Copies of this chain bind each other. A is one copy, B any other.
């Protein structure tokens, strides 16, 4: 079996070492123009030229959870497309989101500000009932985040396109339930896949429906959010703050107002990093399953887009 590795912004050495060790019968190479066509591709944002040189791929493994970049390319016909399924990302996402929610609920920025000013002032706790967290997208990552938030007794609601039953989470399904879901949300967490149906879903209309003084945490894709609409709602005070791990263009251009906005906490697409060892273990298991013609978790439905 020939495996071609073509991952942008990813040092290839640990992947080659790990894949060769796990699959001693396979030839694993970093793709270069002119290479013979491969049987299996391991990719992250490859150039279109890569796909155009792959007429006989049986399977494509994306080393991230989101396949929106792939879906915008011309892919070889007949290849099964498999995205990363947790592989250590879900716990990172739970960690990132819980940290951000707690920081807002406990007013940690205001406490830090007091301390820098030499002021020792305790704040009265707010009622958790006034802080429902709404998680958009209840896939592997969204479900883990929704469960983790319950550790801290926040009311948790979830919105998804298809019904999902998660213990302790009140579910809202489909477009018609979105306004009701938003109206109950004090902290909005976006973990949706990026598809034509979800692009720009965080906009002036939807964000205006959140509870006054709401917070927005975007850990999915920058193109879910209409930047200027968020800025307008922060200016009006309807949205009190945002934690953004993703941007429409990454790295964020240096003149973008998100860099220094006092109510925006920015992180460099770091909420859930791909873990090499866990990911290789998952991919090698799935390669074997695909070779046996079996179904695998995380197989992308190209029609649906995720």
Q: Is the CB of B98 within 8 A of A268?
A: no
> Which residue of chain B is the closest to A272 with respect to CB atoms?
B125
- Which of B123, B151, B152 is within 8 Å of A270, CB to CB? B123
Q: Is the CB of B152 within 8 A of A251?
A: no
Known contacts A96-B106, A106-B95, A106-B99; A269 and B152 CB within 8 A of each other:
no
Q: Is the CB of A273 within 8 A of B122?
A: yes
- Which of B91, B98, B275 is within 8 Å of A98, CB to CB? B98
Smallest distance from the beta carbon of A151 to chain B beta carbons, Å? 5
- Which of B152, B153, B268 is within 8 Å of A115, CB to CB? B268
Known contacts A96-B106, A106-B95, A114-B268; A120 and B151 CB within 8 A of each other:
no
Q: Is the CB of B115 within 8 A of A259?
A: yes
> Which residue of chain B is the closest to A267 with respect to CB atoms?
B111
Interface flag for A118 (CB, 8 Å): yes
Cβ–Cβ < 8 Å partners of A112 in chain B? 265
Interface flag for A21 (CB, 8 Å): no
Q: Is the CB of A151 within 8 A of B268?
A: no
Segment 233-283 of A: residues with Cβ below 8 Å from B:
250-252, 254, 259, 265-270, 273, 275
* Chain A residues with a Cβ closer than 8 Å to the other chain, count: 40
Measured CA separation A103–B106 after assembly (Å) = 14
Smallest distance from the beta carbon of A92 to chain B beta carbons, Å? 7
Known contacts A269-B122, A275-B125; A95 and B152 CB within 8 A of each other:
yes
As for how many copies of this chain the complex holds, the number is: 2
Interface flag for A36 (CB, 8 Å): no
Q: Is the CB of B118 within 8 A of A254?
A: yes
Known contacts A118-B254, A120-B268, A275-B125; A99 and B91 CB within 8 A of each other:
no
Segment 53-105 of A: residues with Cβ below 8 Å from B:
91-92, 94-96, 98-99, 102-103, 105
- What are 8 A-to-B residue pairs whose CB atoms are below 8 Å? A94-B151, A111-B267, A115-B266, A118-B259, A120-B251, A122-B268, A122-B270, A124-B273
| Chain A residues close to B by CB (< 8 Å) | 91-92, 94-96, 98-99, 102-103, 105-106, 108, 111-112, 114-115, 118, 120-125, 148, 151-153, 250-252, 254, 259, 265-270, 273, 275
10 interchain residue pairs of minimum CB distance: A120-B251, A99-B102, A120-B268, A122-B270, A151-B151, A125-B273, A115-B266, A122-B268, A95-B152, A91-B153
